[in-house]
Structure 1
Amino acid sequence: MNKATKKTGIICLLIYLFSSCQKDLGNYSYSDLNEVTIAAIDSSYSALSGDRITISPQLSYAQNSDTSLFTYEWLYYGPTGGQNSVDSVVHTGIVLDKVFDFEAGSYNMYYRITEKSTGIIYTKFFNLAIGDLGYEGWLLLSDVNGRSRLDMLNYVSDETFIPQVDILSAMQSNVSLAGSPISVNLGFHHYLQQLYVITSEEGYHLLQPSYETNISGYLYLPLSLLITGSAQRGFADARANMNFFTDYIYTNGGLYYRNPAYQGTVMRTVGPVNTNAANNRFSISPFFATTGVYDNAQTVMFNQDEKRMYRYQGLWGIISSPLIIDGLDMQHDDLIFMDYSTYNSGYVFAVFKDTRTNSYHLAQFTMNGTLALSALLDGPDIADADLFTIDPNWGYLLYAANGKIYEYDLGTRRTALMQDYGERKISYLAFPKMLSPLNPSYFVGTDRYARYSRRLIVCTYEESNPERSGAVQFYTVPTLNRPFVAVDRYEGFGKIVSVVYNEK
């Protein structure tokens, strides 16, 4: 083949290849992906088991908004919440609308959109925390038009609680609370938490987990049947301190003691323990201070006849003995507050009113009668103070009067205004007393329970609307009289008079 022929053949081949490429380009159509953008799904959600959860995402499509071109699924991937399934579809559809009957736990969830033609997947991840109705959380005893109602902040996760008004009705309990509210209490007996609601008419032992009066062979017991002697009714002046294996109940002028660890399954009280060595009962203030420790459950009470402190040692017998407190003169005093605090290894704090001068003073002493402080209380509104509590962190005395909260510093002996709620009334002021610090091995949330126990609880309401204006506010209390730090606030309750945390 000569050179001219070869050159001609090469030119023809190039022309053919170029022509083929031109035709091939015409056989393909290139376009952008129909990308889907997912919005309006939060990073976390919380609910109670049995609640309906609705999530309506906002979707935008880059090319074609025909929803039939995609599949839409809602899934959780485990193991979470005690379930071992992995990537399980719980609902299909653009919108999640489902009753979740999951057991309590934290679930890793995601929304998955798949394009049918290409198999391309778009996802959005979120967390779902599920709690159990009535199982754990803050129990709030409210006054609603003179009637008692038990409300609850149901625990879902560490700092997430879901409010439930009238928890007994929500759980379809057959317990009906009669009378005006006094207190809600948690004790630990026979290795089980025991809940008690005390009203002006009765004390109710609520058996868990359903708060029914007849469950698993246990019978609902009116508190009146637990008091030593014949059954009595009427608890209008009652005060209770229920703790780890020990209970103290003041009612109708008598202080009664119960220790199921030593008294067996009958669980009746002994007392009244405001009885002296001559076996004579003496009159006491309704305020008393107890350590709450089952093997050393001492309590201190104020003998109003003799104007002095008495101490009951617990465990056996009903006799109390005078507690000598050198340097503390109470001969002209009325006791208006007393409680035990774990502050600095444990002290009794007592506030007195001198009937001669109408002045107020604070005493701080040990269970053995060693006086640590005796100081005049001359802060603002002290004469109107009706609620007191002791800060277990720094030993401050807090008191509420005329819609304000004041803080008395034991070190500087000065009083500072900390909160002013204006027209709102203060119905409850306290640091919660948790059972778990007394014996943490029995409880699952010891670390966070310890954190909860160091928060101040303040409940307020509007006098013109006590049925629905009740609110509970949680604070942390810094040192050096710095302002309270708000943690959480919940509202929509009645006039809250008592709060306790149902530990697990």
Structure 2
Amino acid sequence: MKKLFLYILIAFALGSCYKDKGNYDYVDINVVDISGVDSMYTVNYGSILSIKPTLNFSKDDGSDTSAYSYMWMASLYSNGHTDDVDTLSRSRDLEARITLTSGKYNMIYRVTDKKTGVTFQKSFLATVITSVYEGWMLLSEVNGGSRLDMLSKGADGYKPIYDLLGTIDAGLTLTGLPVEVKFAKLTSAASGHTVYVSTTGGTNRLDGETMKFKAPFQTEVFSVLPDGFYTEKITSRTNGSEYVRGSDNNMYYYMYTFNIYFGLPVNVMYGKTATFNVSKYVGYYDNVSNSTNVHLLYNMDEKRFVRHVYSLPNNCSDMPAGTLFNYTTGKDLLYMETCRFSGGDTYAILDSAHTKFYLARINIASNIVQTYYDEMPATDLAHAENFAVSPDLGYVFYNVGGKLYEYDAGLKQSKLMIDYGDKKVTFLKFDGFQGIGLTAAKAYYNKLQVGVFDPSLPAERAGSFELYTVPAVNGNLVLNESYTGFGKIKSITYRER
């Protein structure tokens, strides 16, 4: 390839001429100008990609197609380099059924003058998408079992695919009650993207591109897991990093960069050998480039926060002295979440004998700093079922049955935002995106995600998924989007692109 471009460069440097070896005279070459090709195409897997370029020749009208050869090539783009070149066609125009795996491709169209051997080319990009290429994935309970649905993103918005695994013949039948669905990036490459589906019947990994069954979670763990094991919560901080809290009350850790794979539990205090019962929640700092390398875990046996340094994965250590509260709280951890508010604060709701509740905030950006601690006199908090924290405004949302509340720590009071009546809120969440630079993340990271269940409808279509904008100064929620036809929604994740 380098020789070919060098030859073309020399030819143009000599005044668009080439040297006839027989008489040593220089003659003008036939220059081919290629136009009529867009810079970017999006094509559905299995559909026809049709491109009819305009070719202008300096020496003829191009009507003699036998005087030229043509080639259309595609190469999967990944991390700044290309691999696995596929030839799509050798015709002047492209009219090809695309069966490339989903992803972004560098495309090249080449026209070669057979007489001179000089090649001219046009480069562009193409994205191949499938019905499962991008979108919301929803795990629901239906008639005592589990069902995975998807809101697939297309040119006309999001369209539902009910019973995704059955619809695409994924090779997996879910058993047990739903626990969690989670999109994760085991590596930054597309081949490392995956979706975990966890039920009380087990946790399985789906291929991130096809959503077909790939492997049980147990095959990724280098230790013996108990019978009936499933993952209760997966916290994916960034590309190639995961914390997994299992049904055995242990926390497992993976980090691709340091070649750390799921092995022995990390919920062991330094200098000890016995594990402690660890909460499923993990606190972290969102910006990896400016991190203390610390993750927050909660020792449920001793009722205290501990720290786990991700580059030293074998154990946990004590927290430093606190300025607002003792990290050995003596309280139960009701909920913990890291959000983007206030530079990445971790919110923790602490339960004191189920009579008083406290809100603690910890920031571990450049140092471990306690930023807030006070009693949380929120309405009916003892009966709260789901929680979420606004990444823009820091409000804490929770529900009691069909009542959805917003708690303002500045005012130290709750506001009833929505009363769904006989319907039940089954899911609350903000964000969940590994970054906010992508299109979907920009649009949705600060939207409140709500799962609502209507018991008056058939179980297989009684659930709805709603997305709200949260206004400042305790303004009423604004409904942006609503989708129906799901089961009782337990967990939602977004398959990012």
Whole-Å Cα distance in 2 between the matches of residues 146 and 132 of structure 1?
Answer: 31
Q: SS of the counterpart of 2:444? A: helix
Letter in 2 for 1:351: I
Deviation for aligned residue 1:349: 0.5
Letter in 1 for 2:390: D
Q: Determine the structure 2 residue equivalent to 1:146.
A: 144
Whole-Å Cα distance in 2 between the matches of residues 165 and 499 of structure 1?
Answer: 14
Q: Note the residue ranges of structure 2 that are not aligned, 5 or more in a row.
A: 1-35, 44-48, 54-96, 104-127
Q: Determine the structure 2 residue equivalent to 1:499.
A: 492
Whole-Å Cα distance in 1 between the matches of residues 227 and 257 of structure 2?
Answer: 26
The equivalent position to 2:235 in structure 1, one of 238, 241, 245, is: 241
Contact preservation (8 Å) 1:198, 1:235:
no
Matches within 5 A, 1:91-240: 132-157=130-155, 160-190=157-187, 191-192=189-190, 193-213=193-213, 220-235=214-229, 238-240=232-234
Q: SS of the counterpart of 2:397? A: strand
Q: SS of the counterpart of 1:433? A: coil
TM-aligned CA distance change 1:304 to 1:320, over 3 Å: same
Whole-Å Cα distance in 2 between the matches of residues 404 and 247 of structure 1?
Answer: 33
TM-aligned CA distance change 1:422 to 1:142, over 3 Å: same
Contact preservation (8 Å) 1:292, 1:298:
no
CA-based RMSD of the aligned residues comes to 2.8
Letter in 2 for 1:383: A
Whole-Å Cα distance in 1 between the matches of residues 393 and 404 of structure 2?
Answer: 16
Q: Does 1:469 align with 2:466?
A: no
TM-aligned CA distance change 1:448 to 1:467, over 3 Å: closer
Contact preservation (8 Å) 1:199, 1:235:
no
Q: SS of the counterpart of 2:197? A: strand
The equivalent position to 1:484 in structure 2, one of 477, 484, 491, is: 477
Whole-Å Cα distance in 2 between the matches of residues 268 and 131 of structure 1?
Answer: 31
Whole-Å Cα distance in 2 between the matches of residues 338 and 423 of structure 1?
Answer: 28
The equivalent position to 2:302 in structure 1, one of 289, 303, 306, is: 306
TM-score (norm. length: structure 1)? 0.69
Letter in 2 for 1:173: A
TM-score (norm. length: structure 2)? 0.70
TM-aligned CA distance change 1:168 to 1:238, over 3 Å: same
Whole-Å Cα distance in 2 between the matches of residues 237 and 352 of structure 1?
Answer: 24
Deviation for aligned residue 1:492: 0.7
CA offsets 1:363-410 (integer angstroms, 9 cap, x no match):
111124422111222222211101111100111111111211111113
Contact preservation (8 Å) 2:378, 2:412:
no
TM-aligned CA distance change 1:246 to 1:292, over 3 Å: farther
Q: Determine the structure 1 residue equivalent to 2:251.
A: 255
CA offsets 1:194-244 (integer angstroms, 9 cap, x no match):
11111112111101322224xxxxxx2211232341143434671111242
Contact preservation (8 Å) 1:143, 1:495:
yes
Whole-Å Cα distance in 1 between the matches of residues 258 and 215 of structure 2?
Answer: 20
Whole-Å Cα distance in 2 between the matches of residues 471 and 101 of structure 1?
Answer: 35
CA offsets 1:57-91 (integer angstroms, 9 cap, x no match):
xxxxxxxxxxxxxxxxxxxx99664545479xxxx
Q: Determine the structure 2 residue equivalent to 1:455.
A: 447
Q: SS of the counterpart of 1:288? A: coil
Whole-Å Cα distance in 2 between the matches of residues 325 and 420 of structure 1?
Answer: 39
Q: Determine the structure 2 residue equivalent to 1:411.
A: 410
Matches within 5 A, 1:285-324: 285-291=279-285, 298-323=294-319, 324=321
Q: Does 1:395 align with 2:362?
A: no
Q: Which moved more, 1:230-239 or 1:359-368?
A: 230-239
Q: Which structure's CA Rg is the greater one?
A: 1
Whole-Å Cα distance in 2 between the matches of residues 202 and 325 of structure 1?
Answer: 39
Deviation for aligned residue 1:165: 0.3
TM-aligned CA distance change 1:383 to 1:231, over 3 Å: closer
Q: Determine the structure 1 residue equivalent to 2:358.
A: 361
Whole-Å Cα distance in 2 between the matches of residues 455 and 102 of structure 1?
Answer: 36
Deviation for aligned residue 1:303: 1.5
TM-aligned CA distance change 1:292 to 1:259, over 3 Å: farther
Whole-Å Cα distance in 2 between the matches of residues 327 and 350 of structure 1?
Answer: 14
Whole-Å Cα distance in 2 between the matches of residues 332 and 423 of structure 1?
Answer: 37
Letter in 2 for 1:188: K
Whole-Å Cα distance in 2 between the matches of residues 86 and 383 of structure 1?
Answer: 66
Contact preservation (8 Å) 2:237, 2:284:
no
TM-aligned CA distance change 1:474 to 1:277, over 3 Å: same
Q: Determine the structure 2 residue equivalent to 1:14.
A: none
Matches within 5 A, 1:13-92: 81=42, 83=49, 85=51
TM-aligned CA distance change 1:480 to 1:212, over 3 Å: same
Contact preservation (8 Å) 2:286, 2:340:
no
Q: Which moved more, 1:177-186 or 1:322-331?
A: 322-331
Whole-Å Cα distance in 2 between the matches of residues 205 and 430 of structure 1?
Answer: 22
